[in-house]
Homo-oligomer: A and B are copies of this chain.
Amino acid sequence: MSAYGTLEARFRRLGLLGGAASMLHWDWATMMPPGGAEPRAAQLAELALIRHELLTDARVCDLLDEAEAEADTLDDWQRTNLTRMWRRWREAAALPADLVQALSEASSHCEMVWREARPASDFPAFAAAFAPLLGLVREKAAALGQALDCAPYDGLVGSHEPGLSCATIDPLFDDLASFLPEFLGRVREAQADSDVPPPVSAPTDAQQALARRLMTALGFDFDHGRLDVSLHPFCGGSAGDIRITTRYDEADALSGLMGVLHETGHALYEAGLPKEWRYQPVGQAGGMALHESQSLLIEMQACRSRHFMRFLAPLLGQYLNGGDSADAEALYRQAIRVEPGTIRVDADEVTYPAHIMLRYRLERALIADDLAVDEIPGAWADIHEALLGLRPDNDAQGCLQDIHWSVGELGYFPSYTIGALMAAQFFDAAVREVPALWPAIERGDFSPLFGWLRANVHGLASRYEGPVLLERATGAPLGTGVFKAHLQRRYLN
């Protein structure tokens, strides 16, 4: 077998073990009894270690070198696959096995502590578990920075979205920071006159049935996936068996449904990846920003629209309201209501970037050792007030609200807002190129949209890095212009 072929076989093994780990994470969040956490954490640490060993095994580096020598026998996808393999290897080889295992165990421990500390708003308890984890994450950042020839924090950012760095993020975030506060004021003024329609309340069972109906309309295949409930909605599972979760609020059906549409966006990206490259690095979804662009494209661009609400209104009546169609315009007003608050996951798309910029500033300072763990609550409240005009009541509403840091995921948060910018650009291009797109959505037919996405995003998997893929698909580089134009159209028209 060629060196390249041997590498493909090795990466297939890694892909399968990654799928197994992902499924065990899903079980943890949806099915596992509380006493299962300790053995599960050990299983996941072991799987992480095995994958690290398989990837950093001395033979892999030799094979990568040998495969380079065979490069003229490879086609474009194979050559890109080889590049992606190198990247995976560099990131993994930068981290010693004992650091990988210590990170896995410290993350599992800190997550368990966080799950109790958050409802109790007990920052000191969290800090005691987070401080040692942060030390390990800083070691990881330093190692990644060295291996990828960048600053430590950029090492973390790049490991979530290859091709992204602070040099790209800073001007975008600066532009948003100068645009959004004034814009927010204008939106609040414009919305001050309009009534807030009351939220739609409905039993969980009925909401779930409607959620499944909407997922089916979007193209989710229940022979290859599930919808379940978890505290923190996510899209997980493995190739060919995609598991999304949501949570239901009986007092506000729209919030749960929008969450389902968001996760379905993630799921259909995964489902649209090319099957023949399923377990290879080039066949994986792009980074976290690109992934988030696909969920936000569905939720924010396509579905929080008048067109979609005209499709949803009669269904909402049928499933939740005993047959009488809901009022599409009232649903739309509810879906685009803007209101500054303290909870990121409840934020609307106008205030969301402020939540991200806050976390970006803090985690960058934590990695640079410019901020101590016990300074987080104060710094959080101050920046929160500066950006959004209000302070959280307590740490549960503030710095303890997110799971990310508790599992050692620093460098992830910028992806949400970069993803929002990308989503606006992708959707704008799709609308320009597919005139039938909006009328189809109004009929609940998403096939024109997904036709464009398959051809321009999903089917390309990791053939290009996120920012490059965006420019190829839309003709323009990553920027804030299309996003700002979208906000103007939606919130000030």
Contacts and interface: CB of A to CB of B under 8 A. Distances in A.
Given A33-B223, A35-B240, 6 more contacts: A16-B46, A20-B43, A20-B46, A35-B224, A36-B238, A50-B50
A221 interface: yes
A188 to B, nearest CB: 44
A141 to B, nearest CB: 28
Interface in A23-66: 23-24, 27, 31-36, 38-40, 42-43, 46-47, 49-50
A17 interface: yes
A225 interface: yes
A247 interface: no
Given A240-B38, A241-B39, A222 B17 contact: no
Contacts of A225: 33, 35
Contact of A27 (B17, B23, B42, B49): B23
B35 A223 contact: yes
Contacts of A42: 16
A272 interface: no
Interface in A1-23: 13, 16-17, 19-20, 23
Interface in A156-187: none
A484 interface: no
A486 interface: no
A226 B24 contact: no
Interface residues of A, number: 34
A43 B27 contact: no
19 contacts: A13-B50, A16-B39, A16-B42, A17-B47, A17-B50, A31-B31, A33-B222, A33-B223, A33-B226, A34-B223, A35-B221, A35-B225, A35-B240, A35-B241, A36-B237, A36-B240, A39-B239, A39-B240, A40-B241
Query: Which of A24, A43, A226, A239 gathers most chain B CB within 10 Å?
Result: A43
Contacts of A20: 20, 24, 43, 46-47
Interface string A359-400: 000000000000000000000000000000000000000000
A97 B225 CA distance: 32
Interface in A219-251: 221-226, 237-241
Q: How many copies does the complex hold?
A: 2
Contact of A33 (B19, B31, B50, B224): B224
Contacts of A238: 36, 39, 43
A239 B35 CA distance: 10
Contacts of A39: 16, 19, 238-241
A16 B46 CA distance: 7
A119 to B, nearest CB: 18
A298 B277 CA distance: 50
A373 to B, nearest CB: 31
A442 B43 CA distance: 41
A80 B42 CA distance: 25
Interface string A207-226: 00000000000000111111
A238 B39 CA distance: 8
Interface in A102-137: none
Nearest to A17: B46
Nearest to A16: B46
Interface string A60-78: 0000000000000000000
A280 to B, nearest CB: 14
Contact of A31 (B19, B50, B224, B226): B226
Contacts of A40: 241
A6 B79 CA distance: 41
Given A24-B24, A238-B39, A13 B46 contact: yes
Nearest to A228: B31
A89 B40 CA distance: 25
B19 A241 contact: no
A40 B240 CA distance: 9
Query: Which of A17, A36, A38, A40 gathers most chain B CB within 10 Å?
Result: A36
